[in-house]
Structure 1
Amino acid sequence: MCNLSVKLYFIDFCSTMTYEHIKAIHIIFVVSWFAGLFYLPRLFVYHTEANSKPEPEKKVIQEQFQKMEKILFNAIMVPAMWLTLISGSTLVYLTWWDSFAQHSWLHLKLSFVVCLVIYHFFCRKLIAELREDKFRFSGFQLRLFNEVATILLFAIVFLVVLKNTLDWIWGVAGLLAFAIIIMTAVKVVKSFREKK
């Protein structure tokens, strides 16, 4: 009897969920996913730069970063990614499915989401490599890598808000300018740190 009432409550809850509820859930998990995508590469930077520390300190620091990277990825990023993709797919189905072919902005946005998923799993690959003490990127390269998620976020948000691929020509130019500014800022900060 209890199981039946729980099932009926769940069915009733699902039937009363509106587009706005699903959209709110989607935004919450997008924010959670991006929080991980911004923070994990920063951990990679510190993990890599710990190589310059003397031996007992280096081992302790790198073990701590391995633990932090694993927890962040498995406990936050993976669930947030899946819930983002599920809620986003639900929104596409509810709102644009009948006219999906007409929304070229949505196709482009979904292409960027695919790039984001690839970035996510490449981060997973880097976690595995760092765990095996394979440091293929320098701290500076990882700082630049850290900006990929920012650039993808920029592209996705502008597409969702503007819903226009014709403006995308200007958007691409702005995106490239934004990327150049970010990379220049990273270089300036690096040179400033080296002077200290």
Structure 2
Amino acid sequence: MLLYLKALHIIFIVTWFSGMFYIVRLFIYNAEAAQKTGVEREVLQKQYEIMIKRLWFGITWPSAVLTLIFGPLVMYTFGYFSPVPGWLWIKLAFVLLLYCYHYSLHLIYRQQMRGLFSISSQKLRVWNEVATIFLVAIVMLVVVKQNMSWAWGLGGLLLFVVLLMSAIKIYKSIRDKK
């Protein structure tokens, strides 16, 4: 039974992250469609609205809730509540920040559904990578646990962020040249 709970927790984490990665891409496309005119704009935005709603409420939100249900169940069944290991406190802090990120996506969702596009597609591209940073940090903590040096872990995460942001800048310059 324990491993089934753990498997379900992992499955819902994967579907939750998938939803968060894809929803921002749809936000980007929807924001870019808002800059078009006439029938093209109307058709694209209508289609993106359907896709965004289905992804957000059909996959992403349910997966976030089920992750939140199965996470504590896994912690309880594996005895992580007494006492809670240090690495798990850090992971839980990242998870809390991840739920804050999820909520920020919900705010963007609500804006776009009202036809407001206050965030540019370029800023959304950068915001899309925040989930990647959380994914790397959380997976590294869970897999490496106590064997990770704080200095190397933090340094590696910062290096990853710098490389990721550099890749976004390079991609933008390539797109601007075309």
Verify same fold: TM over 0.5.
Answer: yes
The alignment status of 1:113 with 2:72, answered yes or no, reads no
Matched with 1:122 is 104
% of aligned pairs identical? 44
Tell me what 1:40 maps to. 23
User: What residue number does 2:140 align with?
Assistant: 158
CA distance in 2, matches of 1:31, 1:152: 13
- The residue that corresponds to 1:145 in the other structure is 127
Q: Paired residue for 2:161?
A: 179
Unpaired segments ≥5 residues, structure 2: none
Q: In structure 1, what is the Cα distance between the partners aligned to 2:174 and 2:108?
A: 27
Provide the residue aligned with 1:133 in structure 2: 115
How far apart are the structure 2 equivalents of 1:165 and 1:143? 33
Taking structure 1 as the reference length, what is the TM-score of the superposition? 0.86
Deviations 1:35-91 (A, max 9, x none): 001100111111111123222111221121111111101000111111111111111
Secondary structure of 1:110's counterpart equals: helix
Give the Cα–Cα distance (whole angstroms) in 2 for the partners of residues 169 and 85 of structure 1: 29
Stretches of 4+ aligned residues off by more than 4 angstroms: none
What is the TM-score normalised by the length of structure 2? Answer: 0.94
2-side partners of 1:144 and 1:107: how far apart? 27
- The residue type paired with residue 109 of structure 2 is I
Residues 152-195 of structure 1: CA deviation (Å, up to 9, x unaligned): 00000010011128623321211111111111111111111121
Q: Which residue of 1 aligns with 2:176?
A: 194
Pick from 36, 39, 42: which aligns with 1:53?
36
